[in-house]
Amino acid sequence: MTAAPPPASASDGLDLGALRSEFPIFTARGPRFHYLDSAATGQICRAAAEALLAYETRGRANVKRGVYRLADEATQAFERARAEIAAYLGAREAREVVITSGTTHALNIAAHCLCARLRAGDEILLSLAEHHSNIVPWQLAGERVGAVIRAIPLDREGRLDLDRLGELVSRRTKVIAVTHCSNVTGAVTDIGRVREAAQSVGAVLVVDGAQRVPHGPVDVQALGCDLYAFSGHKLFAATGAGALWIRRELAEELPPFLGGGEMIRRVAIEGSTFAAPPHRFEAGTPPIGPALALGAAAAWLAGLDWPAIHAHEMALAGRLLAGLRTIRGIRPIGPEGLQARTPLVSFVVDGVHPHDVCQLLDERGVCTRGGHHCAQPLHEALGLEASTRASLALYNDEADVDALLEGLEDVVRRLA
Ligand code: PMP
């Protein structure tokens, strides 16, 4: 085994066994299950699973509508979940949080609503590191108003090259939308620098937080962005719910995205007026159970020892990165060190397609992801078609990393 030893005291103070036992899947699937695909979806925590089941079996009613007790309880639980999500994000007020179906839905709301304020020739600045869900909605909405899409290039390590902001940002820049953390390189964006650039020209700053939220509570106030999007299933809750935080003053100015029930103030055949945020952006029946699960996950996570979890995650990421570097024919991509990086590593196995890598690893119970990870511009910028990604979360342990490294040595022996 070639893995480098982790820093000795990295996860001191963290009872990993107790933490893992809060995720039912590890008990269900046993020791030969090495889940290294949390960047695609996190495993559900007990608090979220129980909240979902409790709603569906004991508390199910539609929200915001009925006057009977069950419906009122469901509405209150839904609004409590909103407050728990708001607290996890460091929002000033719960009403700044819009419940969505996930990051993709959230970013479509952002793009649709913000582009309604743009004129032909205005610019939207993205980056080459974006997930497709922070590119395509801007292209679709931007095309309708004639807005121009520009992109921050990447530096040698695959980080956003923020030295280029000066030449990319101008009075024409009305929106800047960037990822907080790349889902391929793990690089954490220096949002402070992007914010300065946005503020210098009065542009709205949208942050895709999908890969940041699983690694601890966020402080949207300190970040200084205007909108922040994420998915509940990556925050160890159910699939089907996520959130979009919109700074209150901005939310009040924005038009709705989807039209329908519950987002209106008054409807007449001649025209309609709309409810105040967040309800203006929540047309139709929301994903109630998944939202309650998300609130429960956020509340449980908020109480954990994040400095210890961070040390644990980064020690494992270090073990992974060091181990990958010792295997012939494997090239990790992204930042060379662990600084400003989330615990995920994508890599190329020379001469072997990522799907074959993943299939062979699966024979050993190791779950990884191969492909372009919905980030084709990033792969193109790095001169790649695809990569294999191993992504860690708070529940992973050394056995997971070592099983991956042993599996990769075998892949190289057999195929490379
Ligand atoms: N942005 C990033 C950075 C992501 O990693 C993902 C999920 N891979 C998304 C957006 C889209 O999330 P969802 O599919 O849950 O809407």
Q: Is the pLDDT of residue 12 over 50?
A: yes
Q: Within its chain, how far is the Cα of 152 from the centroid?
A: 20
Note the pLDDT of residue 416: 77
Does any ligand 1 atom lie closer than 6 A to the CB of residue 243?
Answer: no
- The string of pLDDT tens digits covering residues 172-209 is 999 999 999 999 999 999 999 999 999 999 999 999 99
- 329 and 416 in contact (C-beta within 8 Å)? yes
Residue 2 CA to ligand 1 centre (angstroms)? 33
Rounded CA separation 175/218 (Å)? 22
Number of DSSP helices (H) and strands (E) in the chain, helices first: 15, 15
Note the pLDDT of residue 110: 98
- The string of pLDDT tens digits covering residues 258-306 is 999 999 999 999 999 999 999 999 999 999 999 999 999 999 999 999 9
DSSP 8-state secondary structure symbol assigned to residue 214: G
The residue to mutate among 133, 185, 236, having the most atoms of ligand 1 within 8 angstroms of its beta carbon, is 133
Confidence band of 2 (pLDDT split at 50, 70, 90): very low
Does any ligand 1 atom lie closer than 6 A to the CB of residue 208?
Answer: yes
Fold of 49-302: Aspartate Aminotransferase; domain 2 (3.40.640)
DSSP codes of every residue in 227-288: EEEEEGGGGTS-TT-EEEEE-HHHHHHPPPSS-STTSEEEEETTEEEEPPTTGGG--SS--H
Rounded CA separation 22/45 (Å)? 6
The residue to mutate among 211, 212, 244, having the most atoms of ligand 1 within 8 angstroms of its beta carbon, is 211
Q: List beta partners, residue 345.
A: 390
Confidence band of 4 (pLDDT split at 50, 70, 90): very low
Q: Is the pLDDT of residue 8 over 80?
A: no
Residue 65 CA to ligand 1 centre (angstroms)? 31
Ligand 1: residue whose CA is nearest its atom 5: 183
Q: Is the pLDDT of residue 331 over 60?
A: yes
- The string of pLDDT tens digits covering residues 24-58 is 999 999 989 999 999 999 999 999 999 999 999 99
Same fold, 16-31+305-415 and 49-302: no
DSSP element (H, E) containing 217: none
Rounded CA separation 54/43 (Å)? 19
Q: Residue 133 CA: which ligand 1 atom is closest?
A: 10
Percent of the chain topping pLDDT 70: 97
Rounded CA separation 12/47 (Å)? 25
Using DSSP's 3-state secondary structure scheme, residue 172 falls into coil
Does any ligand 1 atom lie closer than 6 A to the CB of residue 387?
Answer: no
Rounded CA separation 397/14 (Å)? 12
* Cα torsion angle, 266, 272, 276, 281, sign: positive
Q: Residue 179 CA: which ligand 1 atom is closest?
A: 3
- The string of pLDDT tens digits covering residues 44-96 is 999 999 999 999 999 999 998 889 999 999 999 999 999 999 999 999 999 99
Burial of 77 per CB tally in 10 Å (0-12, 13-18, 19+): buried
- The string of pLDDT tens digits covering residues 368-411 is 999 999 999 999 999 999 999 999 999 999 999 999 999 999 99
Q: Does domain 16-31+305-415 have CATH number 3.90.1530.10?
A: no
Does any ligand 1 atom lie closer than 6 A to the CB of residue 102?
Answer: yes
Q: Is residue 367 annotated as a catalytic residue, yes or no?
A: no
Tokens, residue 111: 């793009």
Maximal CA-CA distance, the chain: 72
Does any ligand 1 atom lie closer than 6 A to the CB of residue 210?
Answer: yes
Tokens, residue 293: 């699960």
All structural domains of the chain with their residue ranges = 16-31+305-415, 49-302
